[in-house]
Structure 1
Amino acid sequence: MFETVTISADQAATLLERQEGHFLDFKDKRIAPAKVARAVSAFCNADGGDLYVGIGERSPGFQWDGFSDPEDANQLIHALEDVSPFGTDLDAEFLLADQLPGYVLHINARKSRAIRKTADGKIYKRLSAQNTPVISEDALTALRRQKGLESFESETLPIDVDVVTNSEAIIEYLLSAVPVAEPETYLRKQHLLASGKPVVAAALLFADEPQACLPKRCGIKIYRYSSEEQSRDRLVEDPVTVEGALYKQIYDAVDKTVEIVAAAAYLDEDGLRSVKYPHEALHEIIANAVLHRDYSVTDDIHIRIFENRIEIQSPGRLPGHITTSNILDERLSRNPYLVRHLNRFPNPPNKDVGEGLNTAFESMKKLNLRSPIIEEGENSVLVVVRHESLASPAQQVVEYLNSSESIRNEQARKMTGIGSESKMKKIFESLIEAGEIEHKPGTAGRGYAYQLKQKRSDSV
C-alpha cells in the first residue's frame, strides 16, 4: 500500500539521535493501535508532525526495531484510517535502513481542517512532547475556533442594540453599500443580531466605539523605536493607539504607520537617513491582521517600527489548516462576517480572502526588497517587513561603490541589514579576493574604508 524507502545507516543514525517534541514522536512496534491513533489525532489537531512506529526507547536513546514485514503493521494502519483517511491529512511510507532490522512505518500527519477523533470518540492535541486529551467544553471551543469551525465573531454581546443600529458607522455604510435597508432589518437579515443582541462582528463593524464593547480586544498600538532592538528606553515617544470601527481603524492605522515611518529619520555617521516601505504592502498586512486576528484573545494588534524593519503582531494563531508554509496558497477565513462586510464598503480595505498577503509580497518584490517573514508564536502571528534588498550583500556593496567613492563596514551593515561587524568584514575579504574591491588608501581605524579595485597600467 505504501512506498518503501531505503535510507543509509548514517541517515538512520541521525534520525535516532533526534529528540521527541511537538513535531516528532517515536513508538515501539508493539504499541496498541489505539495509542498510535491517539498520537495521530494529537498531531492533526495541533500543528502536524512525524510519527515513526518501529523505533523503541532504549537506554540511553532510541533503537531501530522495525516490523519483519510491512503487513505486520496492518492493524495500526486501519486504526489510523479511522482517525483520518490517508491522503487527506496523512501520508505514510516504510523505511528500510542498511544493517538495521525491519521496516519502520513513518507517518507524516498534517495540521487538519477538521477535528480528528480516535475510534472511541476522544480528541487529543499535541502539546510539546505530550498527547493531551481535550476534555473540557472550553478547551473544545478553543480548538473549534483554532480550526476555523466556529468563530468568536458570532458570539452575542450584552450591549444595547442601539449601539450598532443608531451609529454613524452603520448609517454611512448603508448609505453607500445598501441604500434601501433600515439598520436593524439589515443587521438581522445578515445574522449580525441574535436574540435581539448584537454579535461581536456587528460591534466591530458598526459600533462607533467597539473598544467600549470589547475592551483590550480590538485596538491597534503603534510603537517607534530609535534602534534595531525592542526595549522601553528605545521608545521614541509614547505608543499611539488607534481605535474605532474596523473600516476606519484600518485606514487610520495605515496612515499613522506611514506618517511615523516618513518622520523616522535615523542618525548615523553619514547624517540623517530615512527608510521607505511600499504603502501597498503595509496596507495589506495591517488589513490582514485586523481581518483575521482572533478576537477572543484579550490583546491588541501591535505595530513596531524599528530602524531596519516593521513588525505587525496580531493575536491568535493561524486558523484551521493554515501554516506559515501554505499561507500564500491556501484560503480560510477565521472571521467571514468581517471579511464579507468590509469588502462591501466603498474602496474596500480588503481583497478576496488570502489575496492581501500575496499583494504585499509582490509590492515588496517590485521595490527589490525581500519578502516579509511570517512567524507563528504560541498565541500570535508576527509579520516582519524588513528593509533589506533582494540583492546579495556583496552585490549591494559593489553596486553602491559604482556610484560612491568608498564604503565603511558600518555603512555596509546599515545598507545590507547585516548586524555582525565580523560577518560584514568577511564579505569585504571575499570581494577583495575576487578582485572587486580594495582597501582605500589613507583610511584606518573607525574610518577604515573600501573602494572599487583600481585598474593600474604597468609601468614601462
Structure 2
Amino acid sequence: MIEQIRIDDAESKRILDLEESHYLDLKSADIAPAKLTEAVSAFANTAGGELFIGIDEADHNGRKIRHWRGFSDVEEANNHIQVIEAMSPLGTHYRATFLAADGRSGYVLQLIIFKTKDILYASDGVAYVRRGAQKQSVKGEEALHRLRLDKGIVSFEDETLNLDPKLITNSVAIIEFMLNVVPTGEPDTWIAKQNLVAEGKPTVAGLLLFADEPQAALPKRSAIKLFRYKTKEAEGNRESLAFDPLTIEGPLDQQIREAVARTKKLVEGINRLGPNGLESVTYPHETLHEIITNAVLHRDYSIAADVQVRIYDNRIEVESPGRLPGHVTKENILDEQSARNPKIVRLINKFPDAPNKDVGEGLNTAFEAMKKLRLKEPVIEESEHSVTINIRHTPLASAHDTVIAYLENNDEITNMIARDLTGIRSENSMKSVFLSLKDRGLIEPVPGKTIGGKAAWRKTKPKKR
C-alpha cells in the first residue's frame, strides 16, 4: 500500500514553484506509463532524483504557468506504478507517495528514484541518463560500456595493455613489495595468482600498483597534479598560481604518500587572519591523507585526466576523475560502499603501512578529523565527469561567535575581515550578522567609520551615567 499524505496550501505552492533540474522533474498525469519509465531510468542511471506526476504546465505569454491536476483517485495511477515496479526484479529502485493538497484536485504521485548499482532500462529496452534537466538515451555498445564504467559495473583496472609483463614482474616496486610482504614468494607467480597479467599482458591495475613508471604506459590518467593558488576566489587562474603545477608520478602507494606530504608542506606556509592575528593554517593529517587516498583509489582510470589537488588560501579542493560509482551518492557516501577498482583497493591494502588501512572508513575518518579541529565538514560535489571534495578552512563556530571572539582581542572589525574569518562570501550576509549582534546590544558602529568599505564595528561601550 502506497502512503497517502495530505499537505497544506503552502507546501503545494512550493511544489508548483520547483525548478526542474538534474535531480528533479515534474510531469502531467497524462504521461504514458512507458514514457514515465524513461524518466525513471534516467534518474536511476545517473544520481537519483525526484518526480512529481500530476503537475500541468502551460506557456502564457512566454511564462510557464503550472497548476495541480493529479490523478482522480489512487487507482488511476495503477498502470504507472505497475510499469515502474516491473523495471527491476526487486522493485527497490523507487519510493512512492500520493500527495493530496487542500483546495486542489486529485492526487499527485511523488516518486523518489534511487541511484541503482546496475543499469536500469526503460520499458522500450533503452537505458537513459540525466543531463541537466533533460534525459538522454544511451545507445550503442560504446555508450553502454561508458555507462557501465561510470556506474562501476565494469572496471578499467582489468583492461590489458600490449606491453612486456616484466614491467610489473621485474620492477623495483614489486621486488620491494615481495621482500616486505611475501618474502618466500616469486614475483611472477604471485602476480599471476592476483590476475594482474592476462594472456601475457599486464593489466591496468598491475601497472598502477607495481610498474616503476606507470605514467609511461598510462599517460594523462595516472598521476596527481598539485596546484597552489594565492587567492580565495571561487576559481584560480594563471595569475594567482604561486608556481607551475607539480606533477607527482610513480606507483600509487608512492604517489599518495608524496602528494599528502607536499600538500601538508605547502599548507604550512599559509597564514590567515584569526581572532589573535595571523595564524598558521592547519588541516588534519587524517583528512588530507584519506581524501587524497580516496581520490586516487576510486577514480575512473578510463578517463584521460589526472587527479588534481588545488590549494587555495582558504580551502583545498581534491578532484577525482569519474562520477560516484554504483549506488553511491553525495548524500549516502559516508554510509555506502562501492569500489570502482576493487582489485587496486584490495592489493594496496597489503602494502606495509597501507594508505587504506581501514577499508571503507576513509571519508568518515576525514570528516571526524575536521570536527575535532572545530572546522566545518568537507563539501562533496559531483559533476558530469568528476567528483570534487572541498576541504574548507572555515570554523565550526557560528559567524556571530567568530565576530565576538575577534573583538575580544581587537578594537574593531570590518566587513572584509569578518568575511575572511567566517568564510561568508556575501557582504550583505555579513552585514546581517553585524546588525543581528547590534540588535542584541553586543556591538556598535565605530564613530566616523559607518559608510562604505571603511565601515567598522566594535564591542558596545558602556553608556556613561
Same-fold call, TM > 0.5? Answer: yes
Is 2:423 the partner of 1:417?
A: yes
Deviation at 1:219, TM superposition (A): 1.0
Pick the aligned partner of 2:206 from 185, 196, 202. 202
**Matched residue, 2:2:** 2
Deviation at 1:275, TM superposition (A): 1.5
Pick the aligned partner of 1:287 from 287, 293, 304. 293
**Matched residue, 2:353:** 347
Cα distance in 1 for partners of 2:463, 2:57 equals 68
Letter in 1 for 2:47: D
**Matched residue, 2:139:** 135
Is 2:408 the partner of 1:394?
A: no
Q: Which moved more, 1:202-211 or 1:70-79?
A: 70-79
The change in CA–CA distance for 1:127 and 1:377 in structure 2 (over 3 A counts) is closer
Cα distance in 1 for partners of 2:111, 2:283 equals 43
The change in CA–CA distance for 1:444 and 1:435 in structure 2 (over 3 A counts) is closer
The change in CA–CA distance for 1:29 and 1:406 in structure 2 (over 3 A counts) is closer
Cα distance in 2 for partners of 1:7, 1:421 equals 37
**Matched residue, 2:341:** 335
Alpha-carbon displacement from aligned partner over 1:151-210 (angstroms, at most 9, x marks no partner): 111111121101111111111111112222211211111111111111111000000111
| Secondary structure of the corresponding residue to residue 268 of structure 2 | helix
Is 2:32 the partner of 1:32?
A: yes
| Secondary structure of the corresponding residue to residue 100 of structure 2 | strand
Cα distance in 1 for partners of 2:273, 2:6 equals 58
**Matched residue, 1:248:** 254
Cα distance in 1 for partners of 2:9, 2:423 equals 41
Alpha-carbon displacement from aligned partner over 1:111-135 (angstroms, at most 9, x marks no partner): 1112112345332222334433222
Letter in 2 for 1:308: N
**Matched residue, 1:50:** 50
- Contact kept, 8 Å, 2:23 with 2:48, in 1: the verdict is yes
**Matched residue, 1:453:** 460
Pick the aligned partner of 2:366 from 360, 371, 374. 360
The change in CA–CA distance for 1:76 and 1:440 in structure 2 (over 3 A counts) is closer
| Secondary structure of the corresponding residue to residue 228 of structure 1 | coil
Letter in 1 for 2:163: I
**Matched residue, 2:314:** 308
Cα distance in 1 for partners of 2:345, 2:44 equals 27
Deviation at 1:45, TM superposition (A): 1.1
Pick the aligned partner of 1:96 from 95, 100, 112. 100
Cα distance in 1 for partners of 2:440, 2:56 equals 52
Deviation at 1:280, TM superposition (A): 1.6
Cα distance in 1 for partners of 2:13, 2:424 equals 36
Letter in 1 for 2:199: S
| Secondary structure of the corresponding residue to residue 204 of structure 1 | helix
Pick the aligned partner of 1:186 from 176, 184, 190. 190
Deviation at 1:322, TM superposition (A): 0.9
Letter in 1 for 2:250: G
**Matched residue, 1:171:** 175
Q: Which moved more, 1:223-232 or 1:20-29?
A: 20-29
Cα distance in 2 for partners of 1:127, 1:267 equals 41
Q: Which moved more, 1:274-283 or 1:335-344?
A: 274-283
Cα distance in 2 for partners of 1:129, 1:267 equals 41
Cα distance in 2 for partners of 1:444, 1:19 equals 40
Letter in 1 for 2:36: V
The change in CA–CA distance for 1:46 and 1:96 in structure 2 (over 3 A counts) is same
- Contact kept, 8 Å, 1:332 with 1:353, in 2: the verdict is no
The change in CA–CA distance for 1:403 and 1:122 in structure 2 (over 3 A counts) is same
Is 2:85 the partner of 1:81?
A: yes
Gaps of 5+ in 1: none
**Matched residue, 1:15:** 15
User: Number of aligned pairs?
Assistant: 457
Cα distance in 2 for partners of 1:423, 1:213 equals 51
- Contact kept, 8 Å, 1:327 with 1:354, in 2: the verdict is no
| Secondary structure of the corresponding residue to residue 302 of structure 1 | strand
Cα distance in 1 for partners of 2:217, 2:254 equals 17
Deviation at 1:222, TM superposition (A): 1.0
Is 2:433 the partner of 1:432?
A: no
The change in CA–CA distance for 1:272 and 1:68 in structure 2 (over 3 A counts) is closer
Cα distance in 2 for partners of 1:19, 1:444 equals 40
Q: Which moved more, 1:321-330 or 1:98-107?
A: 98-107
**Matched residue, 1:379:** 385
Cα distance in 2 for partners of 1:16, 1:145 equals 36
Pick the aligned partner of 1:323 from 325, 329, 351. 329
Pick the aligned partner of 1:160 from 137, 161, 164. 164
**Matched residue, 2:117:** 113
Cα distance in 1 for partners of 2:145, 2:343 equals 19
Letter in 2 for 1:31: I
Deviation at 1:418, TM superposition (A): 2.6
Deviation at 1:227, TM superposition (A): 1.5
Cα distance in 2 for partners of 1:19, 1:407 equals 39
**Matched residue, 2:71:** 67
| Secondary structure of the corresponding residue to residue 111 of structure 2 | strand
Deviation at 1:140, TM superposition (A): 0.9
TM-score scaled by length of structure 2: 0.91
Is 2:221 the partner of 1:217?
A: yes
Q: Which moved more, 1:15-24 or 1:36-45?
A: 15-24
Cα distance in 1 for partners of 2:58, 2:460 equals 61
Alpha-carbon displacement from aligned partner over 1:307-345 (angstroms, at most 9, x marks no partner): 111111111111111111111111111111111111111
CA RMSD, Structure 1 to Structure 2 (Å): 2.5
- Contact kept, 8 Å, 1:155 with 1:200, in 2: the verdict is yes
| Secondary structure of the corresponding residue to residue 86 of structure 2 | helix
Letter in 1 for 2:129: K
Letter in 2 for 1:192: L
- Contact kept, 8 Å, 2:38 with 2:123, in 1: the verdict is no
Cα distance in 2 for partners of 1:423, 1:132 equals 39
Deviation at 1:448, TM superposition (A): 5.9
The change in CA–CA distance for 1:393 and 1:53 in structure 2 (over 3 A counts) is closer
Cα distance in 2 for partners of 1:410, 1:14 equals 35
Letter in 2 for 1:452: K
Alpha-carbon displacement from aligned partner over 1:367-417 (angstroms, at most 9, x marks no partner): 111111111112111111111100011101222333444444443332222
- Contact kept, 8 Å, 1:313 with 1:383, in 2: the verdict is yes
- Contact kept, 8 Å, 2:208 with 2:252, in 1: the verdict is yes
**Matched residue, 1:144:** 148
TM-score scaled by length of structure 1: 0.92
